[in-house]
Each structure stands twice: as structure tokens, then as C-alpha cells.
Amino acid sequence: MDTIALTQLQKPIESIVQIPGSKSVTNRALIMGALTKNPVIIHNPLWSEDTEAMVEGLNTLGIKTIHCKDSIHVIGNIYDVKDNEFEINTNHSGTTIRFITALCSLVSGKKRIFGSASLNKRPIGDLVDALCSLGADIQYEDIDGYPPILINSKSLKKGSIDMKADVSSQYVSALLMIGPAIGGLELRLSTEQISRSYIDLTIDMMKAWGINVKNDEYHSYNIYPNQEYSLEEYMVEGDYSAGCYFAAFAALAHSKITLKNLKQNTQQGDKAFFDMLRSMGNEVSYFPNEVIITGHGVRPIEVDMELCPDQAQTLAVLAAFAPGKTVLTGVRSLRVKETERVKALQSELLKMN
């Protein structure tokens, strides 16, 4: 393991950071590209381990993609997948295993889908149950409710289904994205919708592809028949999640950081983190394609992390420097990530007293 030595910042700095494309947007765009009959060019994608896992999964199915310097070309689509046997390793990517599972329920062949040892401990049962309600043939290889899974179905039927949405919003996003391909879908939730901002992101992207989704206040979703994905090029916006770390640094270091490639009008939930920085005493200024953070330190707050649960760790670190008690709620989804993040966060902060 490499060791990195950190030195204390001697004075505030002023800097500009070019933020890369969003991982959440990139992987959704890849799925929507695979559901589009014509080739699609995805500009400004984030090439990450999750993206690589998704691309390799699509390529394994025979959905051809080409990775260029600043774009990914999705040449093939699900309608060209041949009846075969496929093994898809999603590695550590929870997004990939959930989205690919829904996609694989639409195509011919026997599919075995699995991930790393830690990913195989993350639940997938609610999504599998929903897909089976639509006609999927899915079995668990080892433990019920968890990967690896075996999919033998080659099509799904349109219909109305009930499902739980209190474990992961990605289950709902996965079903919404394949909804047009099965001729329509009514999805009713039997629990509260967790991480609503990610649902907003999915629906907003589907709209860009020509798909309308009716959202009944996160109680149900309806995709009407006779809709098809139709788009030739898609631009991935900058990743607010990546920008949060630099913004947090600016706050702690009393520095001024300009984050390029972040748009103000976004459905990314991590934008809410910047409002939290304001509440902690910092300046946040939005411009057409950038955000400027001027740091003044941090003060304690009480905040609901529901819109951006992945930033709970970052905010907790900031809270360690705030003179007083900071309360974070809305973090239940962190317990079913690649690790139990709440316990991991507690463990690491305790090492620093």
C-alpha cells in the first residue's frame, strides 16, 4: 500500500479545478444508449471503475462500444443481442450490477451476473422480485436476495407492479430505464422512496432521450406505451460529487476555489452539499458553467443528508472541525454500500480522537 505524506497548508490559496463528468450520469447514459436503436455518442463521460464495469458488461452481451479520448460511442443495442451464455463480472460496481440485471432480463441467453466478494454481500432481492413480477426468470446461485444471480428470461411484459424503494433508489432507476422497452410500466412503491434526487436525475435524462415519466410525488411512476429512446449525442455534465471534496477543502482552508464544468440547473443531488457549506458559514456563487466557493471555516449545523447521502462522510469530517455539535440524519442507505459506511466513518474519526 502506498503512503502519502500530507503537510499543513501554510496560507489560503486561490485555484481553479476542472471537474470531470458525472459517474451517475455516465452509467445511466450507457444504459439508455444500449436501449436506443441507433448509435449514440456520449460526450465527456467519466472513465472510472464503475464505467469500465458497465462498458465491459455491455460488450460481453455483444453491445459494441468504442472508448475514445473524450467520448464513448455506443454502437450496438439490446435488440442485436444473440442467444448465448454470458458471464458478467460487475466487480465493485453496485450501479452496474443493478442496471445490468434489469437490462439482461430483456435479452436472450443465459446470464450469470456477479461481482466482487463485497458486492455479492449487497442486497438485490427487491429488484429481482420486481423483475420476476414482470415475467423474468431469475434464480440466486447461493444466498437468496444476493448475487450471484442467474437470468434465463429473454423478455418482459408490460404491467403494473409494487415494490419497495427504501434500500436503494437504483432499483427504481433500473426499472424506469427499461420501462419503454417493455411497452410501458406502472411502478407503485410500498415504502418511502429513498434518495429521491437520483430518481429525478434518471427521469430528467430519460426526458432528454424522448421518454416521459409521470412521477406521482414519489409514490408511483408511470411510463406510457409507444415511447422509444431517440437521441444521437448526449453531453455528460460535470460531477457535483467530485466537486464536493474541493468545496470542502475551500471551506476548511479559508480558500477560494473555482469549480469548472458544473452547471447550476442540475438534478444531481450532491449539489445540496453546497447549500450545507453555506449553512456552515461559507460563500457559494453560481455561474453558467462554474461554481465559486469562498471558504470562511465551518460552524455546526443539523442537516438531513437524504438528497446527498454519499457526502455524509465529507460533512462528518468538516463537522470534526466545527466548534460544537453537528447532527446528520438521512444516512440509512450508507449501511448497504460497498462497506458499512457509518461504522467505517466512526472507526476512522475515532483514530483522530
The string of pLDDT tens digits covering residues 222-263 is 999 999 999 999 999 999 999 999 999 999 999 999 999 999
Helix (H) or strand (E) holding 151: strand 149-151
Q: Are 290 and 237 in contact (CB under 8 A)?
A: no
Average pLDDT over residues 317-346: 79
Predicted TM-score (pTM) of this structure: 0.92
Average pLDDT over residues 33-46: 98
Total count of domains within the chain: 2
Does the pLDDT at position 280 exceed 80? yes
In this prediction, residue 95 carries a pLDDT of: 96
Does the pLDDT at position 84 exceed 70? yes
Which residues make Cβ contacts (< 8 Å) with residue 39, sequence separation at least 6?
A: 73, 74, 75, 232
Hey, which residues does 162 pair with through a beta bridge? 188
Do 187 and 257 lie in one domain? The reply is no
Domain that holds residue 291: 14-19+238-350
The CA distance from 296 to 300, in Å, is: 13
In this prediction, residue 155 carries a pLDDT of: 87
Active-site residue among 50, 200, 270, 310?
Answer: 310
Decide if 216 is catalytic: no
Cell of 186: 406502472
How many other C-beta atoms are found inside a 10 Å radius of the C-beta of residue 182? 19
Backbone angles phi, psi at 53, to 5 degrees: -65, -40
Band (337; pLDDT cuts 50, 70, 90)? low
Indicate if the alpha-carbon torsion angle 347, 92, 30, 203 is positive or negative: negative
- Nearest C-alpha neighbor of 305 from the set 339, 336, 270: 270
Do 213 and 247 lie in one domain? The reply is no
Domain end call among 205, 234, 263: 234
Give the type of residue at 84: N
In this prediction, residue 339 carries a pLDDT of: 58
Please, is 73 exposed, middle or buried when counting C-beta atoms within 10 Å of its C-beta (0-12, 13-18, 19+)?
A: middle
In this prediction, residue 323 carries a pLDDT of: 95
Tell whether 6 is covered by a domain: no
Tell whether 1 is covered by a domain: no
Do 195 and 168 lie in one domain? The reply is yes
Do 228 and 260 lie in one domain? The reply is no
Does the pLDDT at position 162 exceed 80? yes
For 264, which DSSP code?
A: S
Hey, which residues does 271 pair with through a beta bridge? none
Do 93 and 176 lie in one domain? The reply is yes
Q: Are 40 and 73 in contact (CB under 8 A)?
A: yes
Give the type of residue at 264: Q
pLDDT, averaged across the chain: 94
